[in-house]
């Protein structure tokens, strides 16, 4: 082997080792991490009526790399609106789940719903689709409540198609798989 070839080989090994050393923290950031967050949320729903929401949500996020992560969440909450056409309140309870398969993907959810005007009950389901940025979740969906208002004029009105915005106030966070040391110790 001539000296030029030895120098090029040594230079290549040196560049490769420096590059792998420099990329090591980036690769550690991309390792599988699991985060569990929970807290209360406040929301505003707009459809035929305005509705305020208050509830609790728990999110489990598994991050494989910067672009790929899976988030699954369970939620339940109360809602209240005022039906001005019949001059009575409409109270509700929702319990459901949603899922997102990437950091920049849409969320897909399904909830079970109960609504009452303090005289009668309506039960149903609510499929939804949304966008989640940071802890703000904007979603749209449709409540399918029985008995259907179109077939029975004696039931009370409730939102059918809606758009809502919920802000999660994270109270508890649990991280697993985080290999970096904490910046500040408490």
Task: Write the DSSP string, 105-152.
Answer: SPEEEEEEEEEE-SS-EEEEEEEEEEEEETTEEEEEEE-EEES-TTT-
How far is 8 from 58, CA to CA, in rounded Å? 55
pLDDT in the model for residue 115: 93
pLDDT in the model for residue 186: 42
The residue with tokens 């208050």 is 54
Residues 28-43 have pLDDT tens digits of 555 568 899 999 999 9
What are the phi and psi torsion angles at 13 (to 5°)? -65, -40
Low-confidence ranges of the chain (pLDDT < 70): 1, 4-8, 10-12, 14-32, 65-67, 149-154, 177-186
Closest CA to 65 of 32, 34, 20: 32
- Dihedral of the CA atoms 38, 43, 45, 51 (nearest 10)? 120
pLDDT in the model for residue 184: 42
pLDDT in the model for residue 152: 61
pLDDT in the model for residue 82: 81
pLDDT in the model for residue 73: 95
Parse the chain into domains and list their residue ranges.
1-31, 33-176
pLDDT in the model for residue 38: 95
Closest CA to 79 of 126, 42, 128: 42
Record: fold of 33-176: Porin (2.40.160)
pLDDT in the model for residue 146: 86
């Amino acid at each position: 082997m001539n000296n030029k070839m030895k120098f090029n080989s040594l230079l290549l090994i040196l560049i490769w080792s420096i590059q792998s050393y420099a990329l090591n923290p980036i690769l550690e950031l991309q390792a599988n991490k699991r985060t569990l967050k929970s807290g209360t949320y406040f929301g505003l729903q707009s459809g035929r009526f305005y509705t305020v929401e208050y509830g609790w949500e728990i999110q489990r996020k598994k991050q494989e790399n910067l672009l790929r992560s899976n988030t699954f969440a369970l939620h339940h909450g109360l809602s209240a609106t005022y039906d001005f056409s019949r001059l009575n309140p409409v109270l509700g309870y929702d319990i459901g789940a949603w899922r997102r398969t990437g950091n920049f993907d849409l969320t897909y959810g399904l909830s079970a719903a109960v609504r009452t005007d303090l005289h009668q009950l309506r039960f149903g389901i609510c499929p939804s689709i949304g966008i989640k940025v940071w802890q703000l979740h904007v979603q749209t969906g449709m409540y399918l409540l029985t008995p259907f208002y179109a077939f029975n004029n004696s039931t009370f009105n409730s939102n059918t198609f809606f758009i809502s915005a919920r802000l999660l106030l994270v109270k508890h966070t649990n991280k697993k798989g985080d290999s970096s040391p904490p910046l500040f110790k408490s």
